[in-house]
Amino acid sequence: MDRREGSNLDRRIQLREKHSIERFIQIVFSVWTAILLWELDNPPSKGGSKSRTMGDMIDRVKMQAAGETFEYVMTYFNLPVPDGGLLYILKSLGLKI
């Protein structure tokens, strides 16, 4: 390996390290933003009522996605979407379906 090949290899390694650092910073910023938005949506309660946790919010999104998927499949196959039962329960939980 001559000198020029060695310097090209060094530059590629430095560039790869730079990209890795940039990705890490992006991930940290994304997590920080998610936590900030969650805290803005759930201010600390003064009356003793329990505020929603991050897990509660994720469970709510998963349930909403499951309900929307169910409704989409039923509509796709031209099956009647039940207005009561499961969808009624999901809507009563506050999910937008």
Q: What is the pLDDT of residue 26?
A: 92
One domain for residues 34 and 4: yes
One domain for residues 62 and 94: yes
* Residue-number span of the structural domain to which 6 is assigned: 1-42
Q: What is the pLDDT of residue 22?
A: 92
Cα separations in angstroms, 3 against 11, 51, 66, 75: 13, 62, 59, 65
Neighbouring C-beta atoms of residue 64, cutoff 10 Å: 16
For residues 90 and 63, is the Cβ–Cβ distance under 8 A? yes
Query: Does residue 62 lie within any of the structural domains?
Result: yes
One domain for residues 97 and 68: yes
Query: Does residue 6 lie within any of the structural domains?
Result: yes
| pLDDT per residue as tens, the chain (97 positions) | 556 666 787 888 888 888 899 999 999 888 888 877 777 776 666 665 666 677 777 777 788 788 788 888 888 888 877 666 766 776 776 766 6
CA 45 to chain centre: 25
Q: What is the pLDDT of residue 32?
A: 83
Read off the pTM.
Answer: 0.41
In angstroms, the CA 14 to CA 9 distance is 9
CA angle 63, 95, 53 (to 5 degrees): 65
One domain for residues 38 and 57: no
One domain for residues 93 and 63: yes
One domain for residues 65 and 37: no
Query: Does residue 80 lie within any of the structural domains?
Result: yes
